[in-house]
Amino acid sequence: MNKSPHISIKPDHLFDFFAFPVTNSYLAAVIVIILFFFIAIYYSEEIKKTKRVNFFYLIQFSLKSMYNFFQNAVGEKIGSLFSLLGSLFIYILLLNWFGLLPGVGSILVQVAEARYSPLPSETELKYHFVPLLRGNTTDLNTTLALALVAFFSIQYFGARELGLMGYLRKFFNFSNPISLFTGLLEVVSEFSKVLSFSFRLFGNIFAGEVLLTIIAFLMPILASFPFLLLETFVGLIQAVVFSMLTAVFISNATAKSH
């Protein structure tokens, strides 16, 4: 087995589930979603009780802190936006931190890769080792999907608040050439948010994964502990940046232009 560190931009294919390809990053996302689901069920059940455990109060404190944090950006619209902003923050944070757990990226499994030739009889299987789990936000497919969710949410709330025609007038104003030109620049700016969202999150988390992999390969295990703490902080910051930018962009989209 190859002892060199495994670094790959694309996720590794593990198996097919009813013709659906399952990668190591997708498997990690499924685990995080299940964890997210059970935490939500636990909180909803505990809130009905009179005697509660400390973990419930930790969740409640975190939710109240997030509510107040996002309220500073969106103001009175927090009631309708908190479910989106809070879900983005918690989900991205869990994905980022899950990728730092022991075993993620280091537990390897053997998978087969078919090598085809013009003659069907000469097709052979090549076996190699890949990580069983991989941090999901190191997969550009995931960060792009999250970016699209944020992008379409911005457009939806902007159109809902101002009306479809009122929102479109922010971008297509034919009153004078300068307004038309600046409106077209705003269109380009809106679509560039997809790239900005996706590559910012992907680049920071993937770079951290590469750093931890190289440090763990070159140095003893305790030497990577400070870098692990650093990446824990980076994972938190990236979740804050992604969700807060979404909040700020929605607030700008729902503001009436002057």
Residues 78-99 have pLDDT tens digits of 988 999 999 999 999 999 999 8
Q: Which residues contact 92 (CB under 8 A, 6 or more apart)?
A: 137, 146, 201, 238, 239, 242, 243
> What does pTM read for this prediction?
0.87
pLDDT-derived band of residue 214, with 50, 70 and 90 as boundaries?
confident
pLDDT score for 12: 84
CA distance linking residue 104 with residue 13, whole number of Å = 15
Continuous H helices in 17-170: 24-46, 54-74, 78-98, 140-162, 164-168
Tell me the per-residue pLDDT of 230-258, one tens digit each, with 9 for 90 and over.
899 999 999 999 999 999 999 988 887 65
- The token pair that represents 240 in the structure block: 């804050």
pLDDT score for 103: 81
Tell me the per-residue pLDDT of 44-66, one tens digit each, with 9 for 90 and over.
888 888 777 788 888 889 999 99
Tell me the per-residue pLDDT of 19-30, one tens digit each, with 9 for 90 and over.
888 888 999 999
CA distance linking residue 173 with residue 184, whole number of Å = 9
The answer to whether residue 1 scores a pLDDT higher than 50 is no
Continuous H helices in 99-224: 140-162, 164-168, 177-218
Between the CA of residue 202 and those of 64, 85, 139, 246, 256, what are the distances in Å?
A: 28, 19, 7, 16, 33
